[in-house]
Amino acid sequence: MIELTLARHLTLEAPPQAGRIAHLAAASGLVVSEAALYVVADDELVLGVFPAASQTPGHTLRLLDGDLPLEPRERKRRKADFEALLRLPAFGLYPHGALFALGSGSGRDKPRSDGVLLALDARGALAPDARPRRIALDCLHARLRDEFADLNLEGAVVSGDEFVLLQRGNKGQAVNATVHYPLATILQALARDDALPGLAPRALRRHTLGTIDDVPLGFTDAAALPDGILLFSAVAENTDDSVADGACLGAAIGVIDFAAGRCAIERLAAPWKVEGVHAWREAGATRFLAVTDADDPTRPAQLLAGRFGAD
């Protein structure tokens, strides 16, 4: 089993919204650069920006206008559900690339189909003139509902020349999937328009990740490693659909080698609800950072560090 160590709590200089507490609670996506750690939370409309080399509290940058209701059920119904955050390479008006936050596409009466782009500088810091650019994901999500009746995109990653989305399974729809697009096609669309079209995937690969106490593991995020390998996080949440929450019975980290057709997975020693990952290779092992969803707005999410594989 994988043991994780606490790197920091995701505390903030000020609450992300009046009436909330000065931290991120439901962290769901993570990007690490030389300049900063960037985190989205599925129940906020802001990006968390944390120092890369200190424990001092972070600050926030608004992604979408407005405030969410403080009442939990109404907040859940109206949230943007930013579940994925990735770094795009240089394209169009973004000479140093951009952060891309994506809504999950889940939801019954109000699908979460907003995306947001933010320009970066050469060090991976937010560009001085960075302004959130809203990207409509409705058409892309509508096309994917032909494949997944209970759409729930929990991760996104650039891997080589591909843009990969991760569909999360649950007890009602146990199969997870990676959805692959040519990266160049995605970047061309983002360069010319404020929407992604309903593209047909280059490939769609379904994955069964196993179970914990008869509850299937479902993808929550992924990070690219060399040679096209993906490191992913997964949790076993006791729920039948993409909207209702359930108890987290356990979690795991794994790798998928698409070229070799191989998947390896290791369970976490503690049932952290890991929802965002960053990974790199070091000293013969794969190291990773992960952020958690506390499932409680009064508790701060955590940044954890771990290792997959042997030294």
Mean pLDDT value across residues 217-222: 97
Q: Dig out the tokens for 117 from the structure.
A: 């782009």
Does pLDDT of 108 surpass 80? no
What pLDDT score was predicted for residue 2? 95
What pLDDT score was predicted for residue 82? 97
Distance CA 294, CA 186 (A): 33
What pLDDT score was predicted for residue 78? 92
Q: What is the pTM of this model?
A: 0.95
CA Rg value for the chain: 18
pLDDT in tens, 124-136: 999 998 899 999 9
Q: How confident is the model at residue 109 (pLDDT cuts 50, 70, 90)?
A: low
Nearest to 138 by CA among 160, 162, 105, 107: 105
What pLDDT score was predicted for residue 110? 67
What pLDDT score was predicted for residue 95? 97
pLDDT in tens, 50-107: 999 899 999 999 999 999 999 999 999 999 999 999 999 999 999 999 999 999 999 8
Mean pLDDT value across residues 221-238: 94
The rounded mean pLDDT for the chain is 93
Q: What are the residue ranges spanned by the domains of the chain?
A: 5-308
Label residue 169 exposed, middle or buried (CB < 10 Å: 0-12, 13-18, 19+): buried
Q: How confident is the model at residue 311 (pLDDT cuts 50, 70, 90)?
A: very low
What pLDDT score was predicted for residue 99? 98
Mean pLDDT value across residues 153-165: 97
State the fold for domain 5-308: Neuraminidase (2.120.10)
Selected residue with higher pLDDT from 306 and 237: 306
Distance CA 163, CA 255 (A): 17
